[in-house]
Structure 1
Amino acid sequence: MGSDHSRSVPSAPPRVRRILVATVVPLFVATVLAAVVLWPRGDSPQTGGGADVPRYHGTVTRVVTEPCPPAPQTPEGTPDAGDGPCGTVDVRVQDGPSAGQQVQTPVPDGPGAPRVDVGDEVILVELTDPADPSASNWNIAEHQRGTPLVWLAVVFAAAIVAFGRWRGLAALAGLAASFAILLAFVLPGIAAGRSPLVVAVVGAALIMFVVLYLTHGVTAQTSVAVLGTLGSLVLTGVLATIATAATHLTGFGSEDATTLSMFQADVDLHGLLLAGIIIGSLGVLDDVTVTQAATVTELANANPGLTRLQLYRAATRVGRAHIASTVNTIVLAYAGASLPLLLLLTADTRPLGQILTSEFLAQEIVRSAVATLGLIAAVPLTTGLAAVVTAAGRSTAEPADDVPAPRPQPDRAEALAALSSPRAGPLNGPDPTRTTPPPTATDGWPEPNRSTDTAW
């Protein structure tokens, strides 16, 4: 699936293609070999959690609510515990050993408790008394969201295919490949105790090779985007290592990281922070590098007379506009993901300087800054490579369609007839036998008062 532009892209000359192949193929082979070495082979991560609580699907058949009894000895001025929902919920179990049975659960209460109605699909948990295994209690954990998510995924895929057609279908295949690499290699590798930074770099490179070539085709333009993305990823990893070391980040800046350390003590949280920065910046880097490589190609098609330097300068101006909007996108993406954290800052009474330098916020600042620096470096790197490859391919390609065609030669018989016919002028006067007006210069004939040589 190559480029879908209506105009043909000049192919790179054999020498340039050989250089690209000699550069990209060893990098791809090295990435595959590293993935094979780091691939988890049945390593079971050590966890500190206990046995999993059974979870089953169920359908709510009846909800009975009633006023809650007041809590005994409630201090004056505190919220009354009796204000919460009380009652029972009847649920029909859909799977598991109790499939088809009606069970009764209390109405969910507490912060974040789901609100259920008749007909809702829910997730049930069965709690068994160790002293009496035959006695069990049922509770509603959360809503069952499988069906809405499936419909949302169908609409998502249909919209991409309807707009992108074959290119959209290739994008979906690339998305599936990305998730497959993350779920089969990156996450199990980190959970097995491998270095998160090394696993993230190899996984990101593997995703980059598969997604870019699958989506955009095996072309010189795609190879340029691959090299630009890989170079920017390496720079991002180096900058992330330096920045996290300079700011003394440990990786324990979030509650999720602290919880993970309790269940999987072997995971390097500092390396996990670096891995998150690299994988998080990969998607934006792909966008920028592919756009810059395509921009250089289209500029060369539109104006074949542009030199390498002119192509570089023109495409860099496009890259500046792209970076200006993408930087805001990165910051807002991190801010949106950390919105509860930012809202919590409004209730903090510490000085602003202490808040900004605390680890949980400094971690997000480092993420945004390092990703942006890697993004900025991707523009000149990819644009320069694309300008060299495109200009080299254009110099050996056929002339572009915009070159004007040679001027057609006049018909010899028409020229002789024009020379032998009487000319209108002040000496001879108008021809009385002529019924049509004399031809004008706009018709392709000489003007009456000009010589034949000058007109032609």
Structure 2
Amino acid sequence: MAHGHAHSLDDLDVGPPRRGLAATLAVVVGAISLVAVVAMVMLWPSASEVPRDANPLSGEGVTLVDATVTAVKPFDCGSGGVGPDNLPTVAGDCANVTAETDAGDASFVLDSARFQAGIDVGDDIEVIRIAPSGQEATFEFYDFQRTFPLLALAIAFAVLVVAVARWRGLFALVGIGVTLLALMQFILPALLAGRSALPVAIVGSTVIMTLVLYLAHGVSIRTTSALFGTYFGIVATALMGALATDWSSLTGIGSEDDRTLVATVPDLSMSGVVAATMVIAGLGVLNDVTVTQASAVWEMRALQPTANAAKLFTSAMRIGRDHIASSVYTLVFAYAGSAMTVLLLITAYSRPLGEMASTEELGQEIVRTLVGAIGLVLAVPVTTAIAVALAPAAKDEPEHAGGHRRATA
């Protein structure tokens, strides 16, 4: 009786188990993982090596307190739209704001930019309370309280992921936790401690993607083929990032935050950080591309059990070409969304895009996007070729016309 192809991608390896290949791949992945972990241990900074600047809110008598706005009174503060050095400022009124805290009322002045952005009675905010010893407390506006909406969105996201993707979704959430842990405990401290940025990015990304891929997609030959493609993409992006950063003379000093960081950590190589961010920023899309291509090869093998390697590669690359196009758009749209303020400012200034593109701030993002796109484009054929090599071998053509419908992987 003929069998169909209604099995999931995780069940495509039917037929005789390939224990020899699985064991060989386990040894290879284990060796790569061991090297990465040893390198991580060597690069891991001690607590004393990580520069720590004084927290502006940690001074004597300075505390951050929750408050609720009870009154907003606009007044003319002389903000005419031009500030020091003829730089534009927000024209309009400022406001005297009164807010209720657990310790009593707090009053402060809100500048024109903050006031025009919007603040109303009943808003939950945070204020800085400054109370030096022996002096009356003064207050400054800090920000709006966003803990509840952020937490609610995170919970909704997690519930939906688990509800739709079930165990795979749960493991993907665990993967997010692993990624954040590696970033906060290794990558960021190592960069601050002055470790070479590219080795830190490559080692950290290798460890992250090894754990995340197996967590989210299960331990299988198919997942391993995607992992090998991801390794290639990480290394390729790192090398191109280093070359592109040097070639385009990116210094990493493109904003006020960059200058503050350099002042806080003088030994930090900002150009190295730029190259490292090209690796890390592209991990999500790179992972998406490599997993899709590996899955496409396995599905093509199930649908075409007698196809030779060349035909299997060609079929999977048809999917890969579509995925490349959509992934490139994803990278561009992601940058356009995150840099909307800068792009709006360029438009308002009526400066040519070509002129602004060569500035440090925009140039960093353009190079980062292009390098990431090149890395994922190269990863598609490489991952496909690896997957074809590791996928179940083609079956011989059946002798009888009715025998070719058996499902295979």
TM bracket (short chain): 0.7 to 0.9
Q: 1:394 to 1:133 in 2, by over 3 A?
A: farther
The Cα offsets for residues 104-138 of structure 1, whole Å up to 9 and x where unpaired, read as 21252332357444443211201235xx6432201
Distance in 2 separating the partners of 1:81 and 1:329: 34
- Structure 2 unpaired stretches of 5+: 1-6, 397-401
Question: Could you tell which deviates more after superposition, 160-169 or 348-357?
Answer: 348-357
Aligned partners of 2:172 and 2:216 also within 8 Å: yes
2-structure distance, mates of 1:351, 1:88? 41
Distance 2:40 2:204 in 1: 7
Query: TM-score by structure 2 length?
Result: 0.85
**CA–CA separation in structure 1 for the residues paired with 2:77 and 2:24:** 79
Q: Which residue of 1 aligns with 2:280?
A: 279
Change (3 A) 1:174 1:352: closer
Output the amino acid matched with 2:19.
Answer: P
Alignment of 1:44-443 (within 5 A): 44-46=49-51, 51-53=56-58, 54-60=62-68, 62-65=70-73, 67-68=75-76, 83-92=92-101, 100-113=102-115, 115-129=118-132, 133-348=134-349, 353-392=354-393, 403=404
CA deviations 1:230-271 (Å, max 9, x no partner) are 011101111111111111211113332222112221211011
- Is residue 71–residue 97 contact of structure 2 (8 Å, CA) maintained in 1? yes
Whether the 8 Å CA contact 2:94–2:109 is kept in 1: the answer is yes
**Alpha-carbon deviation of 1:69?**
7.0
Q: Which amino acid aligns with 1:89?
A: T
Contact 1:13/1:392 (CA < 8 Å) preserved in 2? no
Check whether the contact 1:356–1:362 (CA below 8 A) recurs between aligned residues. yes
Aligned-residue offset at 1:331:
1.1
Task: Report the counterpart of residue 37 of structure 1 in structure 2.
Answer: 42
Q: Which amino acid aligns with 1:310?
A: K
Report SS of the residue matched to 1:266: coil
Alpha-carbon contact 2:175-2:212 (below 8 Å) kept:
yes
Percent same amino acid at aligned positions? 35
* Structure whose CA Rg is larger: 1
Distance 1:393 1:175, change over 3 A: farther
Q: Look up the match of 1:24.
A: 29
Once residues 47 and 326 of structure 2 are traced to their aligned partners in structure 1, the CA distance between those partners, rounded to angstroms, is 44
Q: 1:176 to 1:120 in 2, by over 3 A?
A: same
- Of residues 6, 13, 31 in structure 2, which corresponds to 1:9? 13
8 Å Cα contact 1:170/1:215 also seen in 2:
yes
* Per-residue Cα deviation, 1:142-199 (whole angstroms, up to 9, x for no partner): 1111011111111111111111111111111111111111111111111222122221
Q: 1:278 to 1:250 in 2, by over 3 A?
A: same
Q: Report the secondary structure of 1:190's partner residue.
A: helix
CA distance in 1, matches of 2:92, 2:176: 47
Residue identity matched to 1:197: L
SS of residue matched to 2:137: strand
The 8 Å contact of residues 69 and 124 in structure 2, kept in 1 or not, is answered as: no
Distance 1:261 1:223 in 2: 40
Question: 1:220, CA displacement in angstroms?
Answer: 0.6
Question: How far did 1:360 drift?
Answer: 2.4
Q: Separation in 1 of the partners of 2:220 and 2:213?
A: 10
Does the 8 A contact of 1:292 with 1:315 survive in 2? yes
SS in 1 for 2:47: coil
Q: Secondary structure at the match of 1:122?
A: strand
Residue by residue over 1:62-87, the C-alpha shift from the partner in whole angstroms, topping out at 9 and shown as x without a partner, is: 21525447789x99xxx999951433
CA distance in 2, matches of 1:201, 1:289: 17
Question: SS at the partner of 1:392?
Answer: coil
**Is the Cα contact below 8 Å between 1:288 and 1:375 reproduced in 2?**
yes
Deviates further, 196-205 or 288-297: 196-205
Number of aligned pairs? 386
**In 1, are the aligned partners of 2:205 and 2:280 still within 8 Å (CA)?**
yes
CA distance in 2, matches of 1:188, 1:394: 52
The answer to whether the Cα contact below 8 Å between 1:185 and 1:203 also exists between their aligned partners in 2 is yes
User: Secondary structure, in 3 states, of the residue corresponding to 1:135?
Assistant: coil
Instruction: State the alpha-carbon separation in 2 of the partners of residues 352 and 166 from structure 1.
Output: 46
Alpha-carbon offset, residue 357 of structure 1: 2.5
Which deviates the most, 330-339 or 54-63? 54-63
For the Cα contact (< 8 Å) 2:79–2:93, is it kept in 1?
no
Q: Is the 8 A contact 1:70 1:80 kept in 2?
A: no
Q: CA separation of 1:44/1:25 partners in 2, compared to 1, >3 Å: closer, same or farther?
A: closer
- Which of 200-209 and 250-259 deviates more? 250-259
Runs of 4+ in 1 over 6 A off after TM superposition: 69-72, 79-82
Letter paired with 2:138: N
| TM-score normalised by the chain length of structure 1 | 0.77
The structure whose residues are more often helix, as a share, is: 2
Which residue in 2 is equivalent to 1:416? none
Q: CA RMSD, aligned part only?
A: 3.0
Contact 2:126 2:142 (C-alpha < 8 Å) held by counterparts: yes
Structure 1's 19 and 394: CA in aligned 2 closer, same or farther, altered over 3 A? farther
